[in-house]
Chain A
Amino acid sequence: MNPRTLGDELRAAAARRGDHDAIVAGPRRLSYAELDRAADGFAAGLRGLGVQRGDRVAVILRNGIEPAIAIYGALRAGAAFTPLNPTAKAHKLAHLLAHSGAIAAVCSSDIAQTVGAAAVKAPNFRHLIVAGDPIDGSRSFEELVSTEPAAMREVLDVDLSAIIYTSGSTGMPKGVVFLHRNMRFVAGSIVEYLGLHAGDRILCVLPLSHTYGLYHLIMAVRVGATLVLEHGMTFPGRIVEALEREQITVLPGVPTVWQVLISLRGLADRDLPHLRLLTNAGAALSVSQLAAVRRTFSQARMFSMYGQTECKRVCYLPPDQLNARPASVGIAIPGTEVWIEDEAGREVGPGEVGELMIRGDHIMQGYWNDPQATARKLEQGRFPGDRVLRSGDLFRRDREGFLYFVGRTDDIIKSRGEKIAPREIEEVLYAATGVREAAVVGVDDALLGQAVIAHVSAVEGYALDPLALRRHCAEQLEDYMVPKTVVVHAELPKTDNGKLDKLTLRALGPGPAARAGCV
């Protein structure tokens, strides 16, 4: 069989090594044959509910075997999956379910009421599918998975495979649209430069609801490797234990993960003979953090990488270049090209700063239901169908062609490896009583990458309480978006044309005091 779709890749893995562990999550293990059978069952269950080719199925699950089954089941049914963060608040879920036009959502029982309520206003929504104890009006995920597999219309490589939401600078997240073809291409390219193979055992502490985590599932299935899933880094002792017990060979992380790991006592002395490969993305590690990671895991090779949801991955630094250029994010991934343009659209030379442009089959089809935003991001290339992605990020390259990230052209904040639109937080702050002005900026932070700092001023006659404003944010926003510090000013600084001056606010740094003191 020549695999054309993501579902075909699972079929091929099950045919090659059916007994091999596909997913390990806590005490639960699923072989490739079992994952393949479960995906077929869930696909037949979805078809029985009326799910058709091109429909969207939201997957709102924490790391475990369920999201793997839900994703491959939806794909086999000809639907696209939309991974959503299970910690997202109700109003955000409501927006995303409506915007994606999801027909169904899969979630765990603890958030079923929230998801059900969020889906009420989503016009296409019909089926709430709950893993664990169902609620009134919901379907049981486990029952659907046990549906007798049925013959289905063939899924094509040009069918919709996923809509993945990512924060944009203009408020609510944008839905990035991919076909099977795009996702298979980029997974193949990453597998190639990392040298992943069927013997690998990948430990993923990153959420599958996020592209960095998600692609470890796609890549593991592609090569028939084992994916060991954990829920984040909460108890690092569990992670250390999993590294040893599961004989992990590949560990992907974001700076926050590495910062936690390098702070652990005794980890550097541990013998982890199987661990051969580390990858970092989401945000850059500082040169000193990178050195600490390499001391802690001295036998493993580290890949520094850069990407964005709109094309998944852009470039990587071959580990043999790490000593010579520790701050570089390397070269374009196999099968793609990148260059740097100035504002007039001319390619710039070594050392000059410009916007990074990306070309290859990994780039998205566009933003779901947002032609204006798509037109700003995707450019017509040199012939019909040739498309170029504007990264929106400023880069330079050295004489040998290696790339260096310089900064963003928008004001997106990267914290804990998550992209955060300041405007989304500012809108929540403006909705709080007594707030006259609000400006949210990111400042460098060793643990977080960037810390979210909110600067506010009060309507006359109001006294603002920073703590109360943080609580207000915590009620409305995902945890990683809640400002670490809220600084109250008499008035916020302005630029000459009267806009809030974020450069000046950013230069103020983390604010007058840390967490417990000033809030």
Chain B
Amino acid sequence: MSRRRRTGWPLHLAGRSRLRALLWIAVACGAVLFLVLALRLLRGALQRDPTWARIQHDRVLRVGMDASFPPFGVVDEQGGFSGLDVDLATALAERWGVQARFSNVGFDGLYDALKIGKFDLIISALPYDRTMTRDLLYSPSYFNAGQVLLARSDDQRLRSFDDLEGKVVAVELGSEAHQLVRRLARDKGMRLEVSAQREAEQAVALLRQGQADALVCDRVTAYGYMRGTDDLCLVGEPLTDEPYVIAARPDSPLLMEQVTEALDEWRGNGMLEEMLGRWF
């Protein structure tokens, strides 16, 4: 008499073993389905963002910058890049498990070079330009380089530009700050003395010596004056905004998503502040 049961399964596969076999078949089917879905997603990603796909494939992030703007980006005689923007690019690359490679291109050529695919991102103390938002994807700002008000730390009188009525404001002669202070004073109907100094160092000396009540300059310059000392401090909100951003081609939405995610995370966990602290 056959040892097969009427189920058609050999007797030795009955019960628990049959269950195991069924499970293996289910797993195999699941794996095949997963593979199919993954391939379709990958193809979708390739079509949605060929730049991101290429970065993942080549394991290289290509970054364009005009390396003549310290402390954001400079290149030495040996071709070595350094600066805040270099650190940002390197951190992004490390986050994605790829290597950063830099190209030094004059500022005027950056957008065209990005457009024709010479690199994947522009990270180059790049000011946000609203006239370019149809040609580029911009990240959120990672630095505001606008004009700021600097005062002595022990001077509690000043909370904003409006508190400068009747006061002395030092600026570097001919600078953006010089023009700004004159314009703001005129527009607000304020009377204040603008002490325009031929050298920037003379302007900050006046402030430190008490011969000026405040100094107006751009944020990067202000950080330079404050570095290593605590006798000066920023007062109030920035007088102007000059947000620096990262740019990608319009066909790189996944790449820009990744950049944005990284910046948001680093802003939240202090890593961005730490990067800034290395250079300012």
A interacts with B: no
Query: Contact residues of A with B, CB < 8 Å?
Result: none
